[in-house]
Structure 1
Amino acid sequence: MLVARSIALFVVAALFEIGGAWLVWQGVRKHRGWPWIGAGVIALGLYGFVATLQPDAHFGRILAAYGGIFVAGSMAWGMVADGYRPDRYDVFGAVVCLSGMTVIMYAPRGD
């Protein structure tokens, strides 16, 4: 149950961070204005809060592991929101990142 909660928190954090960055991108690069930028900043702040809810107490471990979720989630977001189509190297790289995340977060430890 702890692993499922942790994964769910990673997914929620990714939605806030990637979504927030996308909103800022839209506001600035696509000239959609300050409301989009403001919504993005709020979402990015919520990402930071959600990350603190992880059951593991080690900041470095959480953020390092989250990197794998961020890479794969960013590609998925790009596919859905912008029509991006990853090539096989993108997919392979995302799988490597997710594998690393799994080892960092969920490997059995004695601590």
Structure 2
Amino acid sequence: MIKSILIFVLAGLCEIGGGYLIWLWLKENKPWWYALIGAFILILYGVVATLQPANFARTYATYGGFFIVMSILWAMKFDNYVPDKYDIIGAIVALIGVFIICYAPRS
């Protein structure tokens, strides 16, 4: 389970980091190479996600919960975002869903 969580975190960093660079290029007039690097990192995200042992549906559903939490953490770090109680509650609910979807014992 720890290896799987680390892969989800790495995938999240790739997707959020790559998307953030493209966001900066388009929204904040950063140089074109921000978009190029962002696109490359987004491609890496697609590769990293395939390292999960679960099937596509379970992997991407689970990743969605990680993405929610990591997006809030990213915004706190890089955009001085302060989550409110509903952001935090929603993130907790998403993580509970993640652990049910991906890590519940199945027969």
TM-score over 0.5 (shorter chain)? yes
- Identity in percent: 47
Gaps of 5+ in 1: none
Matches of 1:95 and 1:33, distance apart in 2 = 36
Structure 1 partner of 2:21: 23
Deviations 1:1-33, CA, capped at 9 Å, x for gaps: xx0000000000000000011000001100002
Q: Give 1:48's aligned residue.
A: 46
Q: Which runs of 5+ in 2 are unaligned?
A: none
Aligned length: 107
Aligned pair partner of 2:73 in 73, 76, 84: 76
Counterpart AA for 1:5: K
Aligned partner of 1:60 in structure 2 is 57
- Tell me how far 1:55 sits from its aligned partner: 1.5
Aligned-pair Cα RMSD in Å = 0.5
Deviating 4+ runs (over 4 angstroms):
none
> What residue identity is the alignment partner of 1:75?
I
